[in-house]
Structure formats: structure tokens, C-alpha cells
């Protein structure tokens, strides 16, 4: 007999995992948008190296967002459809000002840590419910967000 997500993870747990994953996805979306906007507007002595770094991080998050949305759907819930919904669910705030490069980097360090924490909360819940596929998905995000924060923080030292 083959095992499916339905037989491995209880229905109520699937719903709760998907709902928690929506929060992590909201943080990833907001971080992605913010990172892309910073790439458009970064100036200063490190602009030539920051712009490609920001774009690479943005593209990586776009792929991750797609994976999270598919996992949410696989777990039986709809993925968010409105940007306003994602903005309201995210712990990452949008930036309406064009900032100096140091402030951009500083905000992204903090926001990467927030996104890692959101993913960690999903990981912990998925671990309790034996949802190893979700665990693996968000473990990759935690690693990537922590690495991005570390790389960005190094620029401020």
C-alpha cells in the first residue's frame, strides 16, 4: 500500500500546516518585492556588487514562493491571491522611501532573519505532524535566509 500525504498527515494538521506556510510565504513575497525594489534603486560605492546580489536573492525567493504555493495547494488549501492579503499577513514591512545603501542592507539583514523565523515556525509544526516534505522545503528556506543575512551583514562590518 502506498502512503499519501492524506494517510501520513491528518486532515486538521494539513490545514494548519498550510495556514502556517501562508505566513512564511507572505514574508517571502514581501522580502522578494523589497529586495527587487532595492536592486532598482541602490546607489553608492557598492551599487555594482549589491545590484546583482539583490537580483539573485530576489530570483531565489521567487522560486521558493512558487514551491511554497504548490505545497499549500498540495496540502489542500488555496494559495493567497491578493497582494493586500500577503502584505497584511507578513511581518516584513514595505519600504516606500529610496534609502541609502547601508540602510537597505540593514533592513534586508533584519528581514532575512524574520523570514527565517517564519520558516522555522512552519518547520517546528511540520516536525510535530510528521510532514517531512514541508520540513525539507522550509529547511532550505531557513538555510538560504540565514546565509543571505550573513552575507549582507558582512557588508556592514
Query: Could you give the domains of the chain?
Result: 9-91+100-156 (1.20.1260.10)
pTM of the predicted model as reported, rounded to 2 decimal places? 0.91
Task: State the Cα–Cα distance between residues 42 and 74, nearest whole angstrom.
Answer: 38
pLDDT of residue 12: 77
pLDDT of residue 11: 73
pLDDT of residue 9: 64
Rg (CA), the chain: 17
Report whether 114 contacts 91 (CB < 8 A). yes
pLDDT of residue 130: 86
pLDDT of residue 2: 45
| pLDDT, block means (10 residues), the chain with 157 residues | 52 88 98 98 96 98 97 94 94 95 98 98 93 96 98 95
pLDDT of residue 55: 98
Amino acid at each position: 500500500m502506498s502512503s499519501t500525504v492524506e494517510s501520513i498527515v491528518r486532515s486538521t494538521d494539513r490545514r494548519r500546516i498550510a495556514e502556517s506556510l501562508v505566513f512564511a510565504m507572505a514574508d517571502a513575497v514581501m522580502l522578494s518585492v523589497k529586495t527587487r525594489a532595492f536592486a532598482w534603486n541602490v546607489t553608492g560605492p557598492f551599487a555594482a556588487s549589491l545590484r546583482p546580489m539583490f537580483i539573485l536573492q530576489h530570483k531565489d525567493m521567487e522560486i521558493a514562493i512558487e514551491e511554497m504555493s504548490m505545497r499549500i495547494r498540495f496540502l489542500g488549501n488555496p494559495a493567497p491571491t491578493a497582494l493586500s492579503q500577503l502584505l497584511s499577513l507578513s511581518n516584513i514591512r514595505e519600504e516606500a522611501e529610496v534609502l541609502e545603501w547601508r540602510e537597505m542592507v540593514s533592513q534586508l539583514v533584519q528581514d532575512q532573519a524574520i523570514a527565517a523565523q517564519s520558516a522555522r515556525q512552519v518547520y517546528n509544526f511540520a516536525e510535530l505532524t510528521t510532514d517531512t516534505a514541508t520540513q525539507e522545503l522550509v529547511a532550505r528556506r531557513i538555510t538560504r535566509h540565514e546565509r543571505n543575512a550573513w552575507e549582507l551583514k558582512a557588508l556592514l562590518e
